[in-house]
């Protein structure tokens, strides 16, 4: 099954302050440039009725809701992470194998504990929903299917607070009428290309000759579309290992060429990234910096050390050194800056790199 929390950031805000529940609630990432610049992170379903959704400019959301008593709030990631961590522990306790895929989403392989019985899986899903609601006061949507692909689509079709079960013999009836957009990996561009081939629904996609799909989209995507349209997927649910890197990037209040301004902001990011490193009991070997310039060109520099460390001073000194180098070599105005730690290893097991990805 796939469990996805409903309008997660906005619902978390409603939990904190139930008096806003019936109003449009819009959670925003303010860039800090002007009062309303930035983008909508997510919105509750009241706000969605007015066309407010993830990714649109805050100013546009305000316009859409100008006649409503709407609530606009800044993202509070720390708060959402706490709730997410608690809920993920609940979900994990109900799974044979558990795979968290985002802050508000996880796959649960429940094949063993339900003995492959869909009725038992449905009962379990109801228990999970009740558990999450009782312990964390949040609703979620759950999709159950023979594989990850189908479970994910099923979770999406009856949001919010939905439970959708798709048994193997129902695959065809369930998938055929859906727009191709429902398949993971099909965005606007591919949707357009498929439309040009006369394909709008998953059922129509299933009718297209696989060779044609391969010719148009390449072998990997073409075969994926061919299989996905038939509900075929054999990706296992897999516990995720440690992250390959921890990073943070942020937009500066004002574009600047000044090293001191850039470093001030970068050091704040270093503190946050370093706190996450410690929390996960990791060591790093590589430090990277990013700079997005006023013309949106992206610049980066990295340094890799011989031995793993978790030293914050070393991290900051390296960040400073790399920014100095970058600014010396490029005449750029910084708009966004970021820092990253990679080549991570677990503290107690320093020999084992978590990634075979070197030199970055």
Q: Residue 54: which of ligand TTP, Mg ion, none does it interact with, CB under 5 to 8 A by kind?
A: ligand TTP
Q: Residue 159: which of Mg ion, ligand TTP, none does it interact with, CB under 5 to 8 A by kind?
A: ligand TTP
Q: Count of residues binding Mg ion (CB under 5 A)?
A: 4
Residue that is written with structure tokens 């449009």 in the block: 24
Does 8 engage in binding with Mg ion (CB under 5 A)?
Answer: yes
Candidates 2, 4, 292, 341: give the one binding Mg ion (CB under 5 A).
4
The residue (of 12 and 318) whose beta carbon lies closer to Mg ion is: 12
The answer to whether 105 is a known catalytic residue is yes
The residue (of 9 and 315) whose beta carbon lies closer to Mg ion is: 9
Smallest separation (angstroms) from ligand TTP to the CB of 204: 25
Smallest separation (angstroms) from ligand TTP to the CB of 55: 5
The residue (of 54 and 350) whose beta carbon lies closer to ligand TTP is: 54
Q: 67 to 106, contacts with Mg ion by CB under 5 A?
A: 104
The residue (of 11 and 318) whose beta carbon lies closer to Mg ion is: 11
The residue (of 8 and 225) whose beta carbon lies closer to Mg ion is: 8
For residues 205 and 216, is the Cβ–Cβ distance under 8 A? no
Smallest separation (angstroms) from ligand TTP to the CB of 29: 7
Whole-Å CA distances, 102 to 15, 143, 200, 238, 298: 20, 16, 28, 14, 26
For residues 344 and 273, is the Cβ–Cβ distance under 8 A? no
Q: Residue 9: which of Mg ion, ligand TTP, none does it interact with, CB under 5 to 8 A by kind?
A: ligand TTP
Nearest-5° Cα angle at 199, 228 to 234: 0
Smallest separation (angstroms) from ligand TTP to the CB of 9: 4
> Which among 13, 14, 99, 105 is annotated as catalytic?
105
Smallest separation (angstroms) from Mg ion to the CB of 8: 5
Closest of 130, 123, 156 to residue 141, by C-alpha: 156
Residues that bind ligand TTP (CB under 6 A): 4-9, 41-42, 54-55, 103-104, 159-160
**Residues annotated as part of the active site:** 105
Residues that bind Mg ion (CB under 5 A): 4-5, 8, 104
């Amino acid at each position: 099954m796939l469990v996805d929390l409903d309008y997660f950031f906005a619902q978390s805000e409603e939990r904190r302050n139930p008096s806003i529940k019936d109003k449009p609630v819009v959670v925003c990432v303010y860039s800090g440039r002007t009062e309303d610049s930035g983008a909508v992170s997510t919105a509750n379903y009241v706000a969605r009725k007015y066309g407010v959704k993830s990714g649109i400019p805050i100013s546009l959301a305000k316009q859409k809701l100008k006649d409503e008593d709407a609530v606009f709030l800044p993202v509070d990631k720390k708060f959402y992470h706490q709730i997410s961590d608690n809920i993920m522990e609940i979900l994990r306790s109900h799974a044979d194998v558990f795979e968290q895929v985002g802050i508000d989403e996880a796959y649960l392989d429940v094949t063993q504990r339900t003995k492959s019985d869909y009725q038992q899986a449905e009962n379990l899903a109801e228990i999970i929903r009740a558990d999450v609601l009782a312990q964390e006061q949040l609703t979620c949507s759950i999709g159950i299917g023979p594989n990850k692909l189908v479970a994910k689509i099923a979770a999406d079709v009856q949001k919010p607070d939905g439970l959708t079960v798709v048994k193997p013999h129902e695959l065809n009836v369930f998938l055929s009428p859906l727009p191709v957009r429902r398949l993971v990996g099909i965005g606007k561009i591919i949707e357009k290309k498929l439309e040009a081939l006369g394909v709008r629904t998953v059922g129509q996609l299933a009718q297209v000759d696989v060779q044609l799909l391969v010719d148009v989209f390449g072998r990997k995507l073409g075969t994926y579309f061919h299989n996905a349209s038939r509900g075929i997927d054999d990706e296992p649910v897999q516990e995720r290992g440690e992250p390959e890197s921890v990073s943070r990037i942020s937009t500066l209040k004002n574009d600047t060429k000044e090293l001191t301004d850039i470093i001030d902001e970068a050091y704040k990011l270093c503190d946050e990234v370093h706190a996450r490193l410690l929390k996960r009991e990791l060591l790093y070997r590589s430090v990277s910096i990013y700079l997005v310039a006023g013309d949106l060109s992206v610049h980066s520099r990295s340094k890799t050390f011989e031995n793993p460390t978790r030293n914050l001073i070393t991290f900051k000194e390296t960040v400073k050194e790399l920014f100095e180098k970058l600014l010396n070599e490029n005449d750029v105005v910084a708009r966004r800056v970021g820092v990253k730690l990679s080549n991570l290893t677990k503290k107690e097991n320093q020999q084992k790199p978590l990634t075979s990805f070197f030199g970055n």
